[in-house]
Amino acid sequence: MQHSSTIAMSAKTARYLLLGRLGFFGLWLLQPLWILWLAPPQLGNAYTLLTLLWLPLWFPLYGMIKGHAYTLAWANFIVMIYFLHSLTNLWVSTGMHQLLSVTELLLASMMFIGCTYYARFRGQELGLKIPKLKDDPRR
């Protein structure tokens, strides 16, 4: 079996990887900028909020850099935090917080779409597949 790095990546797959990475690294940069400088929280500790919103993005960092399809697939669970955060802020905030929330929502959408389709197409290129229930001999 060939090593995954030796199997060529299609241009379509590479575009989705780029989209996912742009969304991810955009969120990775946005969180500390937003919380510490652009619009710090008025109540509570900024560092606690930063920990809650930035720490989850550190978990898939290595796999994002290396382009591991499995990492990009499960990173979609993490991006749900940022969908929820941005949509909540859009509903209750005004001014700078709304602008930052729209930015966060766009970046989260980019990451979600990019990671989803990269994992799908890269998995197909590598010959990976999830077995269907009807094909499971244990059933």
Flag whether 23 is in a domain: no
Q: What is the pLDDT of residues 90-130, one digit of tens each?
A: 999 999 999 999 999 999 999 999 999 999 999 999 988 77
Would 8 be classed as within a structural domain?
no
Q: What CA–CA distance (Å, rounded) separates 123 from 65?
A: 17
* Distance in angstroms (rounded) separating the CA atoms of residues 25 and 114: 12
Residue 77 belongs to a domain: yes
On whether residue 7 sits in a domain, the answer given is no
Whether 105 maps to a domain, the answer reads yes
pLDDT at 1 over 50: no
Q: How many domains does the chain have?
A: 1
Is the residue at 113 inside a domain? yes
- Residue 53 in any domain: the answer is yes
Per residue in 88-101, is it b (16+ CB within 10 Å) or e — as a string?
Answer: ebeeeeeeebeebb
In this prediction, residue 136 carries a pLDDT of 67
Domain-located, residue 74: yes
Structural domain that includes position 60:
30-129
Its pTM stands at 0.88
